[in-house]
Structure 1
Amino acid sequence: MVGFLKRRRWLATLALLSLVVAGLYVIPEGMLLGIALVLAVPCTTIAVECSAALAASRSGHPREENAPDEDEDKSDLRYTVIVPAHNEATIIERTLAELPVGATLVIADNCTDSTAEIARNAGFQVLERHSTDTRGKGFAIEYGLRYLESDPPEAIVIIDADCRVAPGAIAQIARRALATKRPVQSLYLLDSPASPSPTAAVSAFAFLVKNRIRPMGLAFLGLPCLLQGSGMAFPWESFAKARLVGNCIVEDIQFGIDLAIAGTSPLFCSQARVTGLLPSTGAAAQSQRTRWEHGHMQTILTQSPRLLRAAITQRRLDLLALALEVSVPPLSLLGLLWAAGLGLAIAGGFWLKFWLPAVLLGAQGVLMGVAVLSTWAQFGRDRLPLRTLLSLPLYLFWKVPLYLSFVFTPQQQWIRTPRDREVENR
């Protein structure tokens, strides 16, 4: 009996050791394979969207070279342009010069400069809002919305106070929003400074991929896009029902997702162009990128599962496409994650003799790299010369502290990006 018990103890110990050894072998394999499969989602999404954008460009659909007719502003369409502005005295006069005076409402939000006075002197209607406890673009737009409720327009257009608007662009997106009963996002790009640094040039190209190439590919596939913050048009009915999230640092993305789940997914209109300016100073650029990318990563964590659940319960392909779109991290972060994953997979291949994750990640890298380089050759060579493209590792290194700060001190509140003139005058 004693021998039997000793034998059972020995067998149990052997079985436990076998499980530990098997676990040490299987778990790393499973983890590496899991990393490869998770990264396959954003890498494949990027590749498909870029390829579709190339196909759209070669087929002439949409015809991005065709500017809207300037006479379109003379239609009987009743729309209101809301311009949220917080201390924009240095730049708002240039923006207002391109907007219709009688159809524009400026929201001077918690301003301590002459923003409101400049807008009034130019003949624009101005609302001043003072509430230091509720600061942010979403709260400002909500304030304007409540003011318009007594005599609402047919459509609402949102233009940031630091943007330039192409002739006819506002009327075009407002008209399309009314015709489709859906939100419409214009082509919103950032111009590089006169003499951009390598990091600024790469950043401008990344913005081009995010705001032009990927939405263009989605439109070619008949799929919705995300809202981008400026150059957005909404039918009054849908805009009034789903309000902007005032305390969200990427309220535009959140608002577009809310509208999509409610049944009105945003559309992309590449012919209507709105342009901002990429900050040239390091402090302003860092502030802007931190807000955008921390907000983007928070959206991935919170909204991708929400969109996926809604896509399943509502059985809607457009919501599934948006879930995949939201799941794509910033290009620089995706590149860092892919490189780290490939390094681990190669090490695991030598250690475990299990090369499938490395093969999958290598294929993803080739697929994504070819797609991005092809779109650079088609759309981005004027913004990002080849010699500057070689500085991409420096750009990735510049972004590492930003991503580490998201882990330890994520930005939770809206902070306005300093304008270059303000930084220079400090």
Structure 2
Amino acid sequence: MIEVAVVWLVILCSAALSVPIAVYAIECLAGSLPSRRERVPDRRIRPAIAVLVPAHDEEAGISETLANIRSQLAVGDRLVVVADNCRDQTAALARAAGAEVVERRDEERRGKGYALDTGIRHLAEAPPAIVLIVDADCQFGPGAIDHLAGAAAATGRPIQARNLMLAPKGAGLNLSVAEFAFLVKNHVRPLGLYRLGLPCQVTGTGTAFPWEVLGHAKLANANIVEDVKMGLELAYAGHPPQFCEKALVTSFFPYSNEGAETQRRRWENGHLALIRSALRSLFYPKTYRGVNYLAMTLDIIVPPLTLLAGVAVAMLLVSGAISLAGLGATAFWISMANVALLLAATFIAWAVHGRVALPARTLVGVPAYILAKFARYPRALLHRSNDGWVRTDRTRPEES
């Protein structure tokens, strides 16, 4: 009796795992189709915009970020920096760079969301047609602001740029794999959704919002996963975010091991918290009232790539042992199909998009990296993500 229950449990788990793997594969395959050329927008016909930059102790890089933004602004555009609980020269450097600066002091309510809410209330005195939000450590690619503003004005929807994180020069395998995983999550999969006519997630930086849409956004909070939740709420309100591949925004992974570990832990805890919330929402009737909201919910339940691969392989091993014990091969064949589909979709995404981020010569070390990474997840599954604005250490080696 117990053996039968275990077999059926493994079958159900294998079948359940098929859902996020199928979602992942469909997105990757659609995102790896040949791209069609798109017209570069003319800034003379786009509306005036405001670029909003929330910043917390960013004196090391704020000047470079603002110079990059100003190089793409047109006459009538505004650049606003919210210096949130800063203890350094962020505000002074932003003023010197020609930005409007709003200084916020509130030690009890700390978080990027509160900074954004302050910035929006500042802009409300003379509302722009479009608001672009970008983090203080990011750089726009050529023409990105025009692409974002033009698309937001044309569609009346939030527009999400291609938000990539790059490994520093000379980084090891860990950051190369992380860069590839980030590329799949923030480029390949959103592009696939776009080609399928579906919305994408809001990633927290490089996003353009029509002013009237911001009225539906709940910004004043300290939760690190509220960007994604905001995207879901906007989709439910009839304003689903849309991906814009031509608009690129980049930043670098932390140089220090401590900074990389802090960032990794926050992202993974936040992502797992989102998955738990999305799984619960699958039991709510409202999730099925519109294809956009449902598509975004299904997209959220796809775990981080290394976790997804680790679970798929673990299920294959468990179901294989059950099959060898003569208790049935159903779960084994489901798990085999899951692993094959996951490998095929990831290989295609790598072949089309990822060979620069993760060169072929490094692939031999990837399985060991996944195994080591997978071992960390049980703790993260039980750990609640911390609220507040915890700045990642981005100090370069020569600065320490």
Q: Same fold (TM over 0.5)?
A: yes
* 8 Å Cα contact 2:255-2:397 kept in structure 1: no
Q: 1:205 to 1:413 in 2, by over 3 A?
A: same
Aligned residue in 2 for 1:323: 297
Q: 1:305 to 1:174 in 2, by over 3 A?
A: farther
Answer with 1 or 2: which has the greater Rg: 1
Aligned residue in 2 for 1:113: 88
**C-alpha offsets along residues 236-286 of structure 1, whole Å, 9 cap, x if unaligned?**
111122222522112211111111111111100001111111223211111
CA distance in 2, matches of 1:76, 1:36: 49
Q: Which runs of 5+ in 2 are unaligned?
A: none
Aligned residue in 2 for 1:53: 31
Aligned residue in 2 for 1:390: 364
CA distance in 1, matches of 2:370, 2:135: 28
Identity of aligned residues (%): 36
**C-alpha offsets along residues 385-424 of structure 1, whole Å, 9 cap, x if unaligned?**
1221221133224424642332343322244343332787
The question of 1:197 aligning with 2:167 is answered no
CA distance in 1, matches of 2:39, 2:96: 31
Aligned residue in 1 for 2:59: 89
Deviation at 1:159, TM superposition (A): 0.7
Aligned residue in 2 for 1:270: 245
Aligned residue in 2 for 1:242: 217
- Name the aligned partner's letter for residue 215 of structure 2: A
Match of 2:236 among 249, 261, 266: 261
> Mean Cα displacement is larger for which, 46-55 or 97-106?
97-106
Find the residue that maps to 2:221 and give its secondary structure.
Answer: coil
Aligned residue in 1 for 2:7: 29
- Name the aligned partner's letter for residue 285 of structure 1: A
TM-score by length of 2: 0.93
Find the residue that maps to 1:364 and give its secondary structure.
Answer: helix
Find the residue that maps to 2:68 and give its secondary structure.
Answer: coil
Find the residue that maps to 1:269 and give its secondary structure.
Answer: strand
Find the residue that maps to 2:254 and give its secondary structure.
Answer: coil
Aligned residue in 2 for 1:38: 16
- Name the aligned partner's letter for residue 37 of structure 1: A
- Name the aligned partner's letter for residue 122 of structure 1: A
- How do 1:283-298 residues align onto structure 2 when only pairs under 5 Å count? 283-298=258-273
* 8 Å Cα contact 1:307-1:322 kept in structure 2: no
**C-alpha offsets along residues 120-167 of structure 1, whole Å, 9 cap, x if unaligned?**
011111000011111111110001111122221111110110011123
The question of 1:404 aligning with 2:378 is answered yes
Aligned residue in 2 for 1:211: 186
Deviation at 1:341, TM superposition (A): 1.2
- Name the aligned partner's letter for residue 369 of structure 2: Y
**C-alpha offsets along residues 163-188 of structure 1, whole Å, 9 cap, x if unaligned?**
11123211321221122121110111
Find the residue that maps to 1:342 and give its secondary structure.
Answer: helix
CA distance in 2, matches of 1:83, 1:363: 45
* 8 Å Cα contact 2:112-2:221 kept in structure 1: yes
Q: 1:395 to 1:82 in 2, by over 3 A?
A: same
CA distance in 1, matches of 2:184, 2:397: 28
Deviation at 1:425, TM superposition (A): 5.2
CA distance in 2, matches of 1:32, 1:296: 25
Match of 1:300 among 267, 275, 278: 275
- Name the aligned partner's letter for residue 33 of structure 1: I
The question of 1:358 aligning with 2:336 is answered no
Q: 1:402 to 1:311 in 2, by over 3 A?
A: same
CA distance in 2, matches of 1:308, 1:323: 11
Aligned residue in 2 for 1:5: none
Count of residues in Structure 1 that have an aligned counterpart in Structure 2 = 395
- Name the aligned partner's letter for residue 3 of structure 2: Y
Deviation at 1:85, TM superposition (A): 0.5
Aligned residue in 1 for 2:78: 103
Q: 1:204 to 1:324 in 2, by over 3 A?
A: same
The question of 1:279 aligning with 2:275 is answered no
Q: Higher helix proportion, which one?
A: 1
CA distance in 2, matches of 1:368, 1:36: 13
Match of 1:376 among 329, 336, 350: 350
CA distance in 2, matches of 1:252, 1:182: 15
Over the aligned positions, Cα root-mean-square deviation in angstroms equals 2.0
Deviation at 1:312, TM superposition (A): 4.9
* 8 Å Cα contact 1:310-1:319 kept in structure 2: no
Find the residue that maps to 1:329 and give its secondary structure.
Answer: coil
Find the residue that maps to 2:297 and give its secondary structure.
Answer: helix
* 8 Å Cα contact 1:84-1:160 kept in structure 2: yes
Q: 1:108 to 1:41 in 2, by over 3 A?
A: same
CA distance in 2, matches of 1:203, 1:104: 32
**C-alpha offsets along residues 37-90 of structure 1, whole Å, 9 cap, x if unaligned?**
1110111111111111122x2xx33x3xx6845xx3444612111000001100
**C-alpha offsets along residues 326-362 of structure 1, whole Å, 9 cap, x if unaligned?**
1100001111111111111111112342110110110
CA distance in 1, matches of 2:17, 2:220: 30
**C-alpha offsets along residues 277-315 of structure 1, whole Å, 9 cap, x if unaligned?**
12232111111111111111101111343366355552x
The question of 1:79 aligning with 2:55 is answered no
**C-alpha offsets along residues 86-143 of structure 1, whole Å, 9 cap, x if unaligned?**
0110011111002237511000011001000001011111000011111111110001
Match of 1:185 among 138, 160, 163: 160
Find the residue that maps to 1:140 and give its secondary structure.
Answer: helix
The question of 1:348 aligning with 2:322 is answered yes
Aligned residue in 2 for 1:156: 131
